[in-house]
Amino acid sequence: MDILLGTKQVLSQKNIKKLKILEMNTDELNSFLWEFKSENFIPTTELTNEIYEKKEDSLEEFLWDQLRFLKIGRLEKEICRYFAESLDDKGYLNISLNAAARKFKTTIFKVKEAKETLETLEPAGIGAGNLKEAIIIQSRNHEELKKISPKIWDDILNMRLDRAAIKLGISVTALKDLIAPVRNFISYPRRDFASKKARIQSSDIMISNELILTLDKRYEYQFDGGELSQFLSRKKLKEIDSINLALEARRKTLLNIAHFILEKQRKFFCGGYMVPLKLSDVAGELELHISTISRACKDKILEYNCKQYKLNDFFVGEAGKGCSSQRLSVEIQKLVDAEDKFNPYSDEEIRKRLEEKDTVVARRTVTKYRERLGILKGRLRKNYE
């Protein structure tokens, strides 16, 4: 009984490792292999610098590069770095200043001082906790806009222009002229950063203009157990064998999925739209469980024509019935580009117009894709001139 249980546990551990390796993207696999090499003192000739390429800076590193050259105290720098490492996916800062003060055992005044320093850095709006704060931070670079108080910005962002104009002592027409530059503000900090120094994830799959498919060269890597047997234990050599098997299974699975995508999305690669596909389609074709396909696609990048696409973008998810993520983004952008600038569409109006084109989505999905495209809300896109 104990022997059978032990065998099941070993098999389970092997399968867990296999699934974890399958989920890893190229960069994560690099880190995993490098750490394994280091922990087991495998000679550096086994893994060359070509296998481990330097990553591009992240947003946090980009901010830290700016902070390094500021003439501020060590504590203020450390608090700023803590803020930089606490940004969410949009680049917003949503942590308690009191919590930061407790963490660094300092006063709230010192924490606020550090936050103000962070707000002076690039990209525009960094340090903001929401859209309103991002606009206020950016307005500081405008002589007239910086005079507007946060409470009045509440009125403006909620289109209570009459009330805001009265508080400012100007006409509504003058207020519209005053806030016109807001249309050019970015809605969240990471959007501006993406065009400057976004971290570039290594591509797992490459498709050439001639539609020839290749995998990243690191997918071919295997540990040479024969050469390592002289200084590694039998147990460790078995672990290396299991890693090699997992690497090969990962390579074959990704290659088969990539061939499936290339075949089914040929119209897209020739200049058309993506065809709506489901993970179950590829699972059925490859005779694999859908959870295996989901793990294999997770965080993987396909590169074509100098552009990177998430592998999951080729499959229908929340985008809606009969529509891929890429096509939904294109359709929303087209509607916004063609709208009446004096009476722009709300998210609900965009949803209705998409429905007229047989693309059924929820309003919250429109909102998510609009924000992902870096497009402001309808009331903030309105042209008053």
The pLDDT tens digits of the residues spanning 52-89 come to 344 445 777 788 888 888 889 989 999 999 999 888 88
Residue 4 has pLDDT above 60, yes or no: no
Q: Which two structure tokens, joined as six digits, stand for 142?
A: 């405008």
Instruction: Tell me, yes or no, whether 129 and 214 share the same domain.
Output: no
Distances (CA, A) of 285 to 214, 278, 311, 339, 363: 20, 11, 17, 42, 34
For residues 97, 102, 106, 109, the Cα torsion angle rounded to the nearest 10 degrees is 20
Domain presence at residue 90: yes
Instruction: Tell me, yes or no, whether 265 and 131 share the same domain.
Output: no
Domain presence at residue 319: no
Domain presence at residue 216: yes
**Structure letter (DSSP) for residue 106:** -
- Rounded Cα distance between 124 and 132, Å, is 13
Length of the chain: 385
Is 143 strand, coil or helix? coil
Instruction: Tell me, yes or no, whether 298 and 193 share the same domain.
Output: no
Domain presence at residue 123: yes
Domain presence at residue 129: yes
H or E segment to which residue 304 belongs: strand 301-304
Q: Who contacts 218 (Cβ-Cβ below 8 Å, separation ≥6)?
A: 26, 29, 30, 51
Residue 239 has pLDDT above 80, yes or no: no
Share of the chain above pLDDT 90, in %: 20
Q: Who contacts 328 (Cβ-Cβ below 8 Å, separation ≥6)?
A: 319, 320, 354, 359, 361, 365, 369
Residue 261 has pLDDT above 80, yes or no: yes
Residue 179 has pLDDT above 80, yes or no: yes
Q: What confidence score (pLDDT) does residue 118 get? A: 93
Last residue of a domain, one of 285, 314, 343: 314
Domain presence at residue 7: no
Q: Which residue reads 């024969």 in tokens?
A: 226
Instruction: Tell me, yes or no, whether 18 and 144 share the same domain.
Output: no
Residue 112 has pLDDT above 90, yes or no: yes
Query: What total of structural domains would you count in the chain?
Result: 3
The pLDDT tens digits of the residues spanning 322-364 come to 566 767 888 888 899 888 888 899 999 999 998 888 777 888 8
Instruction: Tell me, yes or no, whether 122 and 255 share the same domain.
Output: no
Instruction: Tell me, yes or no, whether 66 and 172 share the same domain.
Output: yes
Last residue of a domain, one of 147, 181, 199: 199
Residue 136 or residue 374, greater confidence:
136
Q: What confidence score (pLDDT) does residue 123 get? A: 85
Burial status of residue 309 (CB atoms within 10 A of its CB: 0-12, 13-18, 19 or more): buried
Q: What confidence score (pLDDT) does residue 6 get? A: 43
Instruction: Tell me, yes or no, whether 195 and 215 share the same domain.
Output: no
Largest Cα–Cα separation, the chain: 86
Q: Which two structure tokens, joined as six digits, stand for 204?
A: 């797992």
**Structure letter (DSSP) for residue 300:** -
Q: What confidence score (pLDDT) does residue 327 get? A: 75
**Contact criterion met (CB below 8 Å) for 329 and 287:** no
**Contact criterion met (CB below 8 Å) for 300 and 311:** yes
- Rounded Cα distance between 29 and 219, Å, is 9
Domain presence at residue 365: yes
The pLDDT tens digits of the residues spanning 281-290 come to 899 999 989 8
Instruction: Tell me, yes or no, whether 166 and 182 share the same domain.
Output: yes
Instruction: Tell me, yes or no, whether 63 and 190 share the same domain.
Output: yes
Q: What are phi and psi of 64, to 5 degrees?
A: -65, -35
Ordered alpha helix ranges (H), the chain? 2-23, 26-39, 59-67, 74-84, 97-104, 108-118, 131-139, 150-157, 161-168, 172-178, 189-197, 225-228, 234-264, 266-269, 279-286, 290-297, 325-338, 347-356, 363-372, 378-381
Instruction: Tell me, yes or no, whether 81 and 183 share the same domain.
Output: yes
Domain that holds residue 258: 12-50+202-314
Instruction: Tell me, yes or no, whether 132 and 179 share the same domain.
Output: yes
Give me the CATH number covering residue 368.
1.10.10
Last residue of a domain, one of 141, 167, 199: 199
Q: Which residue reads 């039998």 in tokens?
A: 234
Instruction: Tell me, yes or no, whether 175 and 114 share the same domain.
Output: yes
For range 239-251, the mean pLDDT = 82
Angle among Cα 118, 124, 129 to the nearest 5 degrees reads 65
Domain presence at residue 2: no
